[in-house]
Structure 1
């Protein structure tokens, strides 16, 4: 009996392959598709193939060739081992291959190294961000608001060995100003695994010194309440206020007030409220330095108080003005007026003047005037109102009044027109001090005759004919009079000087001379003492020697015998009568000669010329020209 047994062609697999393996790694990118394929080479019937991935729940089986696809691979697959096996039921040998999944990893979200981002306007911003877990190293991008400032950042990376990833640290250094305040600072990281990138944001706090404006509304003299308000704008919004300053338009300080946000001006008489006009300066700080490293910031506003016109102090101090018969004259008044006066009229002793005639003409022009504002003399923008009078006659010297009209009460001011005259002789011309080479004198200016006057001092050594002359000061017609001093220098020691002075005005009219002042310059103390002490010591020594000799001779004579006493005493008396008178006569003669020379010198020192027409040589280039002024008012 025969049986038919079928024969099968059995063959084991020759090899097993993992596709896309290079250097034992299967490369991929986090977040993208990953395909793993295991294929058995040969084998009949088709061998069983199995694919597993370590540490993750992946296990795929099939015959001959299998595939695992992950549409969005996650980073937990990184560096996991892929194992592929192939075997045949008819054979005991199992084929096996492994490879590592190696991914390009996205950078993790960056974090700021600072809990808050803050800087000052004058200090560059420095801020840092760190991102970990990237492969390859990530790159940072920086933004402030919408402005890309990456070019001002520096990145550094470090390799983390256990995970084979990179930590990247980036620092931005950028100069910001107040316009960047409250904007968001963004640090963003990207690499080939994440081209869109991930980012973190924080709000920027830029501290800056305040800008200051001052709110200064317009007022009128009828407003009882007048305020100015300081408006600082800085960060932080907390301020220390310093003293307010009230200044003129030309910068002169008028007054100060305690620091406060809103300043209420002290009340005053209605007609004086115009003095509140001017620049008000607020000074404040918030503890932040400005670009000039200053803590205190200033701002100002100009306050205007509309009021009736005011005749300024440079006019009210000039009650009298001067002219000359036969000549034209201009009478001036200065006015501060905001708003400007609408019209003006002149009258002479109460009688209206017809302007634009052959005799009179008037005009007003803008000018800088001087007024006393709260006790301070300052410059203001005002007007000069002028009355021109032609061909002055005696009856023209009278009182002239100008009346200014405006939306407020009319105001008037009267000027007395007088005939110009010769300046008065300076008063109280006297000596105040002397030294070996200087003489200091003082005088009181008197009227300049309606014009600016100049003061002159003439001086000479007594006995000389030539006077030397010096210009020693000036006085304007509106200048307050005060006692003046002048020091003549580089004079001769132990000399007698004659001094006198006069005044001359710009009309070329000269006052009389003062009385002649006679002054001695001092003698040097050291030279005088030496000259006196030397001769005195010599005389004393001589007298001591003479007396000692006399006593010695006397003792010797007395020691001789009684028989010779009378003869010796007779000789001594003869000698005494003869010599003693000659010694004292010589001393008396010397004393009389010294007294005679002193009397002659005294007569010479006090000798002065009384001739008023004596010729004078003017010398304004003399060395003793330094002036010493005193503020004494008389």
Structure 2
């Protein structure tokens, strides 16, 4: 509102004529929205957006329309208050003010910034696994880190370089090697917004599954041992995602029908050079009391609806060797010849050991191991003896299971001349 004065001056007038008028210009509200800085629009921060109004006559009201949870206002302003702000608050907000002259509006688009939510999908075509990382955040420009591969038991296995579009392709050489690629694939991605827990890169994961024939894991023992006239068992461990497995065991093309037990303890296998837990089934074939004919090679076939795999076990006697028999010693002036008849080797290669000492000392000097030559009689010459000394001799044998009992010769020996 403003006061204006008009003045007229004339020679015919004794004094100027004046008149005053009050100028009252009325207008609808003029609105200004104060936009906070960018960091105020990051999710989980406190934010306030205010709308200021100026009008004549005074405004009847000034309000916000939109996803308004709470606003504070007076006769000249209204403020949106978020404590904290959330991604669901992203939308267009309208500030509306009115008076007797008219209605005014001002619009603002609040784009809330938040770290990505990440999901991962995959497809298997032939022996190829195609993985695709799907981040959803604001802003939507992303940086992809290396993928993590983990076993199904959440053991980190390795990092794999993918593309900067969030894709990863795994190519296997066969169904068996493809099965080694199953597990948890983790995509790590950032859009520059730090999450509430302080992490810059967010993760999404998928558990890649592939059904295949049973696989005999690498920790199986190809050579297994049993003991003569004792209960004989063969144990193998299978990797299989399918519980229904058909089993067959045979030797010399003769199918056997032993009692079979199964279990699912957790074990490990070596995939890509890393030791990882796997889904496994432990199979035990109970063959009964062992006879000599039982220590042969066995072929095990394991099948499910996806196919079959085979594994051969070499069953060997697991006894310690029997001690040598009929030990004889012929002693000369500077050497001796020891002979013996080898005992049963226990089902494995055996090695002989000869111990000797002279009558004046208590410690034994050991010669060996000497490999069994599988002859009916074993002979061995020991040199560098002390002249005119009497010697005592002890012999034993050893295989992968253990040592035989020791056979000792304690009697004094006659020294023979080579002449």
TM-score bracket for this pair, using the shorter chain length:
0.5 to 0.7
* Greater RCO, CA 8 A, separation 6+: 2
1:209 aligned to 2:209?
no
1:244 aligned to 2:147?
yes
Cα distance, 1:511 vs structure 2: 6.5
- Equivalent in 187, 194, 211 of residue 282 of structure 1: 187
Checking the alignment, whether the CA contact within 8 Å between 1:402 and 1:412 is kept in structure 2 is yes
User: In the alignment, which residue of structure 1 is the partner of 2:35?
Assistant: 114
User: In the alignment, which residue of structure 1 is the partner of 2:49?
Assistant: 127
> How many angstroms apart in 1 are the aligned matches of 2:263 and 2:36?
67
User: In the alignment, which residue of structure 2 is the partner of 1:305?
Assistant: 210
User: In the alignment, which residue of structure 2 is the partner of 1:176?
Assistant: 85
User: In the alignment, which residue of structure 1 is the partner of 2:385?
Assistant: none
> How many angstroms apart in 2 are the aligned matches of 1:329 and 1:144?
79
User: In the alignment, which residue of structure 1 is the partner of 2:362?
Assistant: none
Deviations 1:489-537 (A, max 9, x none): xxxxxxxxxxxxxxxxxxxx98799xxxxxxxxxxxxxxxxxxxxxxxx
Checking the alignment, whether the CA contact within 8 Å between 2:157 and 2:274 is kept in structure 1 is yes
> How many angstroms apart in 2 are the aligned matches of 1:349 and 1:190?
100
Checking the alignment, whether the CA contact within 8 Å between 1:216 and 1:302 is kept in structure 2 is no
Deviations 1:350-379 (A, max 9, x none): 32112xxxxx21133444342221222211
Q: Check 1:419–1:112 CA distance in 2 against 1; reply closer, same or farther (3 A cut).
A: same
User: In the alignment, which residue of structure 2 is the partner of 1:26?
Assistant: none
Residues 147-546 of structure 1: pairs in structure 2 closer than 5 A: 147-150=68-71, 153=72, 155=73, 168-174=76-82, 175-181=84-90, 183-189=91-97, 198-219=104-125, 223-260=126-163, 261-315=166-220, 318-339=221-242, 342-354=245-257, 360-408=258-306, 410-421=308-319
Aligned residue pairs, count: 309
> How many angstroms apart in 1 are the aligned matches of 2:222 and 2:287?
17
1:179 match: secondary structure:
helix
Checking the alignment, whether the CA contact within 8 Å between 1:107 and 1:138 is kept in structure 2 is no
Gaps of 5+ in 2: 5-19, 322-345, 348-400, 406-419
Q: Check 1:390–1:136 CA distance in 2 against 1; reply closer, same or farther (3 A cut).
A: same
Checking the alignment, whether the CA contact within 8 Å between 1:336 and 1:369 is kept in structure 2 is no
Normalised by the length of structure 1, the TM-score is 0.43
Checking the alignment, whether the CA contact within 8 Å between 1:121 and 1:207 is kept in structure 2 is yes
2:154 match: secondary structure:
coil
Deviations 1:310-341 (A, max 9, x none): 110121xx123334445434422111124556
User: In the alignment, which residue of structure 1 is the partner of 2:339?
Assistant: none
2:29 match: secondary structure:
coil
Cα distance, 1:137 vs structure 2: 6.9
Cα distance, 1:303 vs structure 2: 1.8
> How many angstroms apart in 2 are the aligned matches of 1:415 and 1:134?
99
> How many angstroms apart in 2 are the aligned matches of 1:397 and 1:134?
109
User: In the alignment, which residue of structure 2 is the partner of 1:141?
Assistant: 63
Cα distance, 1:402 vs structure 2: 1.2
Cα distance, 1:109 vs structure 2: 4.3
Q: Check 1:134–1:115 CA distance in 2 against 1; reply closer, same or farther (3 A cut).
A: farther
> How many angstroms apart in 1 are the aligned matches of 2:138 and 2:154?
30
> How many angstroms apart in 1 are the aligned matches of 2:210 and 2:230?
41
> How many angstroms apart in 2 are the aligned matches of 1:120 and 1:134?
37
Cα distance, 1:299 vs structure 2: 0.7
> How many angstroms apart in 1 are the aligned matches of 2:103 and 2:289?
97
Cα distance, 1:136 vs structure 2: 5.7
Which structure has greater helix proportion?
1
Cα distance, 1:209 vs structure 2: 0.9
> How many angstroms apart in 2 are the aligned matches of 1:410 and 1:179?
53
> How many angstroms apart in 1 are the aligned matches of 2:30 and 2:234?
87
User: In the alignment, which residue of structure 1 is the partner of 2:331?
Assistant: none
Cα distance, 1:238 vs structure 2: 0.9
Checking the alignment, whether the CA contact within 8 Å between 2:64 and 2:78 is kept in structure 1 is no
Which structure has greater strand proportion?
2
2:266 match: secondary structure:
strand
Checking the alignment, whether the CA contact within 8 Å between 2:29 and 2:103 is kept in structure 1 is no
Cα distance, 1:127 vs structure 2: 1.6
Checking the alignment, whether the CA contact within 8 Å between 2:149 and 2:185 is kept in structure 1 is yes
